[in-house]
Copies of this chain bind each other. A is one copy, B any other.
């Protein structure tokens, strides 16, 4: 017996997402729950995979099963597919396990031909409706199944509008629409060389194949790549009997969320369009009404209550926000889809905490409901409220206002095409993508842009949905906006803004500003704090911050840091006058001269450390000794060198020679890190002295202080031992123990060799901290500064799953981390091990750090919440696995 490839809606359930896809499982579950769902069936994802495995052939039995299911639907709805009098029309939709906007669009009204149209005319009593449905069907089928460009149909369509003097689509008469049908068919014939398929069965077969094919179109592949979705999942195909929202004023269609996906507010949220098909809402061509209006809409008595009750039921059933599509056909409500609703970061936090409070979900589920990366949105800078408060003098008037489609502030230069956004983004430019409306083709440009501004479309338009998913600021449907793509400018009234000019978006208010506004960090909500407290309750990993100044340290504490994992001393070298002393130190000819220069730097460093120690309130502070190549502290232009020479009182030639001698072929692999402290031990000595003196002063004030001195770029035990000897000697000289200050000495593990000989290095190290930025560079032999030429292609072509500078490479870099941790602890079981590379704030990297048993992760203060939540989720996952 052949495998079961086809499931009637009533045969499936929510648990069958893998097989039926998200949409199919939702339809099945709603059907089982007795909700009003137009009958239909789903062809499984397994069928899609089998289709590809068999060289693009329907698997054995699939087609027969589909025809049988179709019979069942015919019986159910009492219509017949292809029947002249009482024809069944169906929609055909793709539906993968995870929602994928990059995939095939829907084909509606399938089953129409020159014969069945008559039945529709009779049944609807509306010839215009019938022919409009017919021409839409040919258009959609032609585009989606037969790959004819939309423009071609639009040209024909516009010609007819012009010919008949119609301005809007709705101005076209039934007669005109009737004429368009053969014109569209002629277009199909000329574009494909074949006539438009009249037989409904043939139409169905073509549409199913087109869905299967769409699994591997470029957009879908790109979408999966960006969203880390496996290529092996396949898509299901949903065939559902049509209901019509465009059968008159008592019909309509809409989409809605059980809660506000932008703010999380617990209130039905969505839009509907009377007398329209579903695609009209998503496409953003007509501006829809808010769902709340439905309650008072005389054309739809009681529909709102019915929908509201269904929405409640669905949310309780799924215990999560539902994103629903519905159609009202002549006053009767049909549910066409329900799925877990995408939401912004702030909404995710509010919804999770609200549902926890409502008793709908438990603490662990609450934590798992917030994607850690989305917290970024809560932490995004926002426009300084004084500039948005019109009672203040500092108020800045927006140039226009649209819908607040995705929250947060965004500043960037105006670009008008996705290509430009991508190209300039690649160059490091911050851009705002300005479009009339966006489409899936614009995806890459949207990824590259800081924010998106559209002139058309609503809160559920493509631009709005995608931007929210990305946590990017978006203002949608700013209708006053005139976009002149060819002229490369936009205008609002008399105001003209050229390509390349700066604008600022406030996605939370829907406002658009000319120029750059001041932005500030947002306040953290109580819900956010609840999530953070929960995360802290469940995580095992400690979190620290990378912070170089007392200000950063204070920020770190605010975001929940339990210490500083990386304090880069060299950043302090650039402040104020001290750079002069640093430069004196570099050009010194003798140890004595160098020591004299260092003596000038010491008091500055000491003061910096005092500030940081105090800010950290007794938490440990890991201070890295001088790391960057010395040439980074010197000017490189002739004029600047000459000026500096004068300041330092040395000859310009000598200084130039010094600058020259410090140049390196590969500075990343050059004279830096502990190599500086080995050649110039007096530098390490000065830094140790500054740290210890600061620690003593702070301790004398009764404040606990826990300095951890970290030696960078170590490749061998001997390097660390030599540096350690210096520090220990200074500690003795400074009487650190007597002052009651406990300190630790440890090292960065940022070279492959350090990881491999960790069992030796650990003999002299009380802690390890993985410098995964450099470790990634050396493990891959990949310069971050130069990888731009090929790394994006590597990720795009899936040579590498991820950019290893963003998500930690577990196989290579991670393997070295595992080796280093194991070997280090083999000789020092209580070795403290952390990470201070940028991966320390990236969710999947934090998960890995948890898995291999690190003690802490350290990241920028701003990413601490992400780290805390990621650490909690990692702990929950591993607990589940342990069970």
Contacts and interface: CB of A to CB of B under 8 A. Distances in A.
Contacts of A86: none
Interface size class of A (residues with CB under 8 A): 35 or more
Nearest to A675: B790
Contacts of A667: 665-666, 786
How many monomers of this protein are in the complex?
2
A591 interface: no
A713 B794 CA distance: 14
Contact of A715 (B782, B797, B816): B782
Interface in A643-692: 664-671, 673, 675, 678-679
Contacts of A665: 667-668, 783, 785-786
A718 B778 contact: no
Nearest to A679: B790
Contact of A756 (B678, B798, B800, B811): B811
Q: Is the interface of A mostly helix, strand, loop or mixed?
A: helix
A441 to B, nearest CB: 23
B718 A798 contact: yes
A881 interface: no
B786 A816 contact: no
B783 A666 contact: yes
Interface string A767-803: 0000000100111111101110110011001111000
A753 interface: yes
Contacts of A779: 715, 751-753, 756, 778
A758 B157 CA distance: 60
A752 B780 CA distance: 7
A440 interface: no
A757 interface: yes
A271 interface: no
A812 B758 CA distance: 10
A323 interface: no
A628 to B, nearest CB: 13
A750 interface: yes
Interface in A214-245: none
B751 A799 contact: no
A809 B785 CA distance: 28
A71 to B, nearest CB: 47
B751 A793 contact: no
A852 to B, nearest CB: 14
A202 interface: no
B715 A812 contact: yes
A555 interface: no
A250 interface: no
B752 A786 contact: no
Nearest to A630: B789
A178 interface: no
Interface string A798-829: 11100000000101110110000000000000
Given A781-B778, A799-B722, A671 B786 contact: yes
Nearest to A629: B786
A719 interface: yes
Interface in A745-761: 750-753, 756-757, 760
A191 interface: no
A813 B815 CA distance: 16
A664 to B, nearest CB: 4
A72 interface: no
A338 to B, nearest CB: 39
Nearest to A662: B789
Nearest to A665: B785
Contacts of A354: none
A800 B668 contact: no
Contacts of A799: 678, 716, 718-719, 722
Contacts of A757: 811-812, 815
Contact of A670 (B783, B794, B809): B783
Contacts of A813: 753
A625 to B, nearest CB: 15
Nearest to A814: B756
A705 to B, nearest CB: 32
A718 B812 CA distance: 14
Contact of A781 (B713, B787, B790): B713
Given A719-B799, A779-B778, A786-B670, A679 B812 contact: no
Given A666-B669, A669-B786, A751 B716 contact: no
Could you say which of A719, A722, A786 has the most chain B C-beta atoms within 10 Å of its C-beta? A786
Given A793-B679, A815-B756, A664 B781 contact: no
B666 A715 contact: no
Contacts of A783: 664-666, 668-670
A669 B811 CA distance: 19
Contacts of A794: 678
Contacts of A811: 753, 756-757, 760
A233 to B, nearest CB: 20
Given A678-B794, A679-B789, A811-B757, A751 B781 contact: yes
A715 B780 contact: yes
A431 to B, nearest CB: 21
A750 B671 CA distance: 22
B752 A785 contact: no
B753 A718 contact: no
A790 B671 contact: yes
Given A751-B781, A752-B778, A756-B816, A789 B669 contact: no
A780 B798 contact: no
Contacts of A715: 779-782, 812
Nearest to A781: B751
A778 B813 CA distance: 13
Contacts of A778: 752, 778-779, 781
13 contacts: A665-B783, A665-B785, A666-B666, A666-B668, A666-B786, A715-B782, A716-B800, A752-B779, A753-B809, A756-B816, A757-B811, A760-B811, A778-B778
**Chain A to chain B: the 4 pairs with minimum beta-carbon distance, closest first:** A753-B812, A669-B783, A665-B785, A666-B783
